[in-house]
Structure formats: C-alpha cells, structure tokens
Amino acid sequence: MNDGKIDPDSEFGKKIGFTSDKFEGWLWKIGNYIYISFIVSKQPNQGNLSKLFNNILKLGYGIKVPTPIGKMKLILKKKGFKKTYEWDDLTKQYVEVWVKEVNR
C-alpha cells in the first residue's frame, strides 16, 4: 500500500474493516503507520474500533492518533497506546500523538 489517504470502502479500507457502514472519516498511511486523524463510529460500542486496531496491527502497521479528545483518549489509554509528541511542519509546533507499536 502506498502512502496517502485511506477512505472507507477503498481496497485497503475493506481489508482492515474501515467500511462506510461502520465509520465516517478517513485514515492516512505514512510509512509503517496508519494515522487515525478523523473517524466517527456509526455503531458505537460494537467493537468496530477495536477490530480496526487489531486488523491494522496484524498487517504489520503501527497506529498513530494525533490530538485525540474525549472518549477517544480514554479508549487509547485502555488499549495501551503511549502518548508522544511529533513535530508538525504545517503548524510549526509539536503535537500530541498517541502510538501503538506492532508487537514484533
């Protein structure tokens, strides 16, 4: 998979369970990571986000979630994500990014 935007129902999106019946929004692939920058669950509390995380990790990609808020931050803590900071060239500042590495 090339770097770039991942839309729901795209070939790669379907492979990881990122489908329009479950989610709105988009993901990004950058290097060995899938960035979850904006998604909304259409079926909250059904385990679809956990399945998405697991599918991404099974394919050998790490997961990064920039500046999570509210419920997402609580989910990331529970799932063992680690809070880090990365330089953002667009805003010229460090931004909070929660990371889950692949178990190798």
pLDDT in tens, 23-38: 999 999 999 999 998 8
Residue of 47, 45, 50, 48 whose CA lies nearest to 63: 50
Read off the tokens for 30: 């950058």
pLDDT at 104: 60
The set of residues, in sequence order, having a beta carbon less than 8 Å from that of 88 and lying 6+ positions away, is 94, 95
Looking at residue 36, which CATH number applies to its domain?
Answer: 3.40.630
pLDDT band at 97 (very low <50, low <70, confident <90, very high): very high
Q: Tell me what the mean pLDDT of segment 13-23 comes to.
A: 97
Supply the pLDDT for residue 103: 79
Q: Total domain count for the chain?
A: 1
Residues 29, 62: Cα–Cα separation, whole Å: 10
**Owning domain of residue 78:** 4-100
Instruction: Please give the helix or strand (H or E) that residue 70 lies within, else none.
Output: helix 70-78
pLDDT digits (tens, 9 = 90+) for 58-84: 999 999 999 998 899 999 999 999 999
